[in-house]
Amino acid sequence: MDLDSKIYVAGHRGLVGSAIVRKLKEKGYTNIIYRTSKELDLTDRTQVDQFFAEEKPEYVFMAAAKVGGIVANNEYPADFIRDNIMIQTNVIDASYQNNVKKLLFLGSTCIYPKYAPQPMNEDSLLTGELEPTNEPYAIAKIAGIKMCEAYNRQYGTNYISVMPTNLYGPNDNFDLETSHVLPALIRKFHEAKINSKHTVEVWGTGNPKREFLHSYDLADATVYLMNHYEENQFVNIGVGKDLPIKELAEKIKSVVGYEGEIVFNTDKPDGTPRKLVDVTKLSNTGWEASISLDEGLKSTYDWFLNNIENGTRVTK
């Protein structure tokens, strides 16, 4: 990408999209375009076609998606599979119809089988059953990967897909009903601290292991891969190490300064036992993560304090 290339970031207000916009600006890119969901409904093909025909972006970062944690995926499976398939189909095909030079599609490591060998290698895709709690979302993302691969084969496009591990950082979703585990725990511990609660409940046994990547690291990786990666097979993005939810909870408890007890509710689901990605392919491209979990948790909690009140965004 040239510094004046016209770059469209779909989903620019979310955790991933906002980090990509920030990273592009840091690196000197000057022609970045985006629209809010009210300005452009990506589930509406007519609106998407009109936008691409008028704006003619050269590069597309496909970061728009309907996302959520285990609760949201369980309660709204139809919404997750329908909306995500519609969004990505519209953007990918409109990119082809309007001669986009390169597109980067963002997926999720939930695409891997529930019991995939650890760490999860790109070749493990479609080798086993998915985790039932997020299967509709995972199937939508798998469809996006395969759509990019199919367009590359049939039309000679240059569409790449990346699968980031669990993400966190500024502009995350801290709603307890729809958020992922890390932001949910930040909010739980914070509210327990300010309300002087003696205990904080954490779902499950605390034994499942998870890997966490800061959104700024992901953004750096996507810009790097957009400029340096050409292969048809998708590539994992992660840090290459994980930790039990119990340990994560203790780290967040310490960062927040909560002094009560952690109680694990074993009647609640654990989800996938482990989700560690193999980052060998990514490392071979010359990129690796730079933000440690301890550093990232502290900066994310600071952002939460400055921007979130009672689980909603503060307008400043």
Give the residue numbers annotated as catalytic, written as ranges. 137
Residue 71 CA from chain centroid, whole number: 17
| 22 carries a ligand binding annotation | no
SS3 239: coil
Q: Which residues pair with 105 in a beta bridge?
A: 62, 161
| 300 carries a ligand binding annotation | no
d(CA 189, CA 120): 31
Residue 153: count of CB within 10 angstroms of its CB: 10
| 106 carries a ligand binding annotation | yes
| 214 carries a ligand binding annotation | no
| 108 carries a ligand binding annotation | yes
Q: Which residues pair with 312 in a beta bridge?
A: 309
| Helix-helix angle 15-26:215-228, to 10 degrees | 60
Q: Contact at 8 Å (CB) between 139 and 84?
A: no
SS3 16: helix
CA angle 200, 202, 207 (to 5 degrees): 135
| 270 carries a ligand binding annotation | yes
Dihedral sign from CA coordinates of 277, 280, 281, 284: positive
| 235 carries a ligand binding annotation | no
| 11 carries a ligand binding annotation | yes
Residue 210: count of CB within 10 angstroms of its CB: 21
The DSSP letter of residue 274 is E
d(CA 205, CA 245): 8
| 165 carries a ligand binding annotation | yes
Question: Token pair for residue 20?
Answer: 């990509």
| 296 carries a ligand binding annotation | no
Residue with token string 């240059």:
158
d(CA 234, CA 214): 20
| 200 carries a ligand binding annotation | no
| 109 carries a ligand binding annotation | yes
Residue 34: count of CB within 10 angstroms of its CB: 21
120 phi, psi to nearest 5 deg: -80, 120
| 13 carries a ligand binding annotation | yes
Annotated binding residues: 11-17, 106-109, 141, 164-167, 180, 188, 203, 210, 270
Binding site for substrate, by residue number, is 188, 203, 210, 270
Binding residues for NADP(+): 11-17, 106-109, 141, 164-167, 180
